[in-house]
Structure 1
Amino acid sequence: MSAERFDWRGVVSRALFALFIVFAIYNPSGTSYVHWVLEGFDWFWVKLATGAALAAILGVMWRTTRGVLGRQGMLLVVAFCLGLGMTVLHLSGQRLLDGDTLLMGLLVCVSGVFTAGLCYSHLHHRLGGIAHTEDINK
């Protein structure tokens, strides 16, 4: 995708993709890959293939995020997510330890870190004209 064409739809699509992957792997509703695997050994090969695909996608997302943001960038996004989450909880009157609120907040925070990692390079190029590259030594 060209940096000139990257706009808010790119950010939203990457955010939805990150949310989908994180919540497909585990979510507290009971309909996730982890719950499906723990149900038993039926459909073993399908579960194995699905797990391999999810692991590959998660690995690419992790490597991209770590490479673009680095440790400090990821900590900054986590701090922003936690601050935003605490503000939303305070304004909505929810308590942090009610039910699955804490777990849902952490899962959304993880997907926020992945979203930032997937979008940062494009946004940085669009706003600052700085292109990120990766050198591969063979």
Structure 2
Amino acid sequence: MSGELAPRNSNAAAPTDGDNRYKAVQHKLKTLASAMDQACGDLLRLQISMQANANRSEELARDIAHAELDPMFVEMQNAVSIALGGAAVEVRRLNEMANEVVGLTEQARATHSRFYQGLDEVRSSRPHKTPRPGFLVRKGG
């Protein structure tokens, strides 16, 4: 089961380079939303697995009790069940937060588009190069 959850090869969902062009920012936001959406699926599967393991652990504690083994083993197995159940609850909360990040990222992407898409279309359709943002800003006053 632990083999199902393998770390990803990439270090970041979206590169944090200095490229702030309209299309680059839109791509980074889309990549981030997509990566977070995939993480939500992974977290949901993890939560389900942890809850199932917590339930199995609880059943095992009952089986140990019915076998009349030392009560210490029943207590230890119940502690495992409680810990797994608590971890599953926290994974669910993390999943909810990740879903919220997906929504906020999509909202940021739409807002960015609303503010800058028109400017990008004007700049992209010009046949000549245009100054970079900040070119006309006077330095020192």
TM-score by length of 2: 0.39
Asked which structure has the greater CA Rg, the reply is 2
